[in-house]
Structure 1
Amino acid sequence: MSATTIKPWVVGNWKMNPIHADAQQLISEFKTLLQDSPVEAEKCHLGIAPVTLALTQIQAALSEAVRPVYTVAQDLSRIAGLGAYTGEVSAELLKDSQIDYVLVGHSERRELFADTPSILNEKVKNALQAGLTVIYCVGESLQQRESGQAEQVVLQQICDIAAVVDAEQWQQIVIAYEPIWAIGTGKTASPEDAQTMHAKIREGLSQITAYAVTLPILYGGSVKPENAVELAACPDINGALVGGASLNAASFHQIAQAFANTQ
């Protein structure tokens, strides 16, 4: 299987948005769009990552969609199992609620909440051991890119988790490349720059795992309908982790169509 035949993923990261009523309306609109203008499940995985408070409600609403749409947790605890850890949600609790997917390592978690490589390793290990699929986020700052360190930084972030991912567990990993300078800024890496980094990521993965050729690598960072078609055409870009545009049902649906139509 070549990178171009990997079934793409389009995942909406809602972050700390929206309020309950707006979330329900958004899901209702998205389900209608999927009904009226299908995005074939055989051509594209779809997922939505709501706030933790809404995970099971969104999951229930999505269960009525015309095709599978995964519910994705935005984070999980570094602590496994159950116990006296106020405010935490473990991998096992997510799995018990049939939440099978989780984001780990988003730059906002790294920068704002001090998720260090050692903490991220614990989260990845816990998620994999509980049977979750991890969407592992990597990316460089503008300063790191301008100083020529982008590839080194991103590949190191991938190497960071290699110690806790067993050989077969790489099948439970999806990589999401998000240049930090493009997240929520309206700036987007050019399709050429994004493809170059994705190719480097796949090359680096090939040194770590035999599953590199089948491992999806998503692009994130101001993905919108206007650039989705060009990004989807890149051979090593296997989908999108969508931020702000996923809060608009029509925009998210158009992005999903762009990636599904490349198959």
Structure 2
Amino acid sequence: MSASTITPWVVGNWKMNPVQAQAQQLLNEFKQLLQNSPIAQEKCHLGIAPTMLALSTVQAQMADAARPVYTVAQDVSRIAGTGAYTGEVSAELLADHGVGYVLVGHSERREIFADQRDQLNAKVQNALNAGLTVIYCVGESLAQREAGQAEVVVLQQICDIAAVVTGDAWGKIVIAYEPIWAIGTGKTASPEDAQAMHAKIREGLKQLTPHGANMAILYGGSVKAENAVELAACPDINGALVGGASLNADSFHQIALAFANTK
């Protein structure tokens, strides 16, 4: 399978947004857009990552959408199973609630909440053991990019999970490249820079696993309707992890259309 035949993913990361009434309106608007301007399931996978509080609500509200829209957890506990771990949500509990996908390693988790390699590896391993698909986020800071370390940093972050991802488990991993300096800043890596990094990631994945040629690699970092077509045209960019623009139904739909129609 070549990069051009990988079904793209477009995932909306709502982060710590919005309140219930706004979420309900957003979902209703998005469902209407999918009804009026369909996006075939085989052309693009769609996912929404709401807060933990809203996972079941989003899942229920999207159940009658014109096509499947997956619910994605924004994080998962490094503790498996159940027990006396106040505030934690394990991979098994997510699976029990019908959530099949989870973000791990988002830069905000790494930067603000100090998630380190061992914690992230535990989260990845727990998610895989529970049957979840992991959208594993990697990316460099502006200082690292300016120091010429971007590729080394990103490839090391991918190599880190090789300690817990082996064999066919790589088939349950999606990579999301998100340059930290482009998240929530309005800045976006140029399509050329993004493609160059995605190509390096693809090269690195192929060295780690036979699944490397088939794995989706998403771009995240101020993805908007205005730049989605250019990004979608890049051969090794297989979708988008969308932040702020996913809180607008029309923008999110336009981004999904860009990838569905280009790939």
Question: Fold conserved (TM > 0.5)?
Answer: yes
Structure 2 counterpart SS, 1:186: coil
Structure 1 runs of 4+ off > 4 angstroms? none
Taking the aligned partners of 1:108 and 1:44, their CA distance within structure 2 comes to: 26
Give the alignment of 1:1-263 within 5 angstroms.
1-263=1-263
Shift of 1:147: 0.3
Taking the aligned partners of 1:61 and 1:215, their CA distance within structure 2 comes to: 29
Taking the aligned partners of 2:33 and 2:14, their CA distance within structure 1 comes to: 18
Shift of 1:16: 0.1
Structure 2 counterpart SS, 1:56: helix
Taking the aligned partners of 2:78 and 2:62, their CA distance within structure 1 comes to: 28
Deviations 1:127-156 (A, max 9, x none): 000000000000000000000000000000
Taking the aligned partners of 2:194 and 2:129, their CA distance within structure 1 comes to: 31
Shift of 1:166: 1.8
Shift of 1:49: 0.1
Shift of 1:173: 0.2
Please, what TM-score do these two structures have when normalized by structure 2? 1.00
Aligned residues: 263
User: Which amino acid letter does the alignment assign opposite residue 99 of structure 2?
Assistant: I
Taking the aligned partners of 1:20 and 1:110, their CA distance within structure 2 comes to: 27
Structure 2 counterpart SS, 1:12: strand
Taking the aligned partners of 1:253 and 1:206, their CA distance within structure 2 comes to: 32
Taking the aligned partners of 1:117 and 1:42, their CA distance within structure 2 comes to: 34
Structure 2 counterpart SS, 1:246: helix
**Cα RMSD over matched residues?**
0.4
Deviations 1:221-259 (A, max 9, x none): 000011000000000000000000000000000000000
Taking the aligned partners of 1:255 and 1:262, their CA distance within structure 2 comes to: 11
Deviations 1:94-127 (A, max 9, x none): 0000000000000000010010010000000000
Taking the aligned partners of 2:13 and 2:238, their CA distance within structure 1 comes to: 17
Please, what TM-score do these two structures have when normalized by structure 1? 1.00
Structure 2 counterpart SS, 1:261: helix
Shift of 1:4: 1.0
User: Which amino acid letter does the alignment assign opposite residue 18 of structure 2?
Assistant: P
User: Which amino acid letter does the alignment assign opposite residue 13 of structure 2?
Assistant: N
Structure 2 counterpart SS, 1:240: strand
Shift of 1:42: 1.0
Taking the aligned partners of 1:34 and 1:91, their CA distance within structure 2 comes to: 30
Structure 2 counterpart SS, 1:207: helix
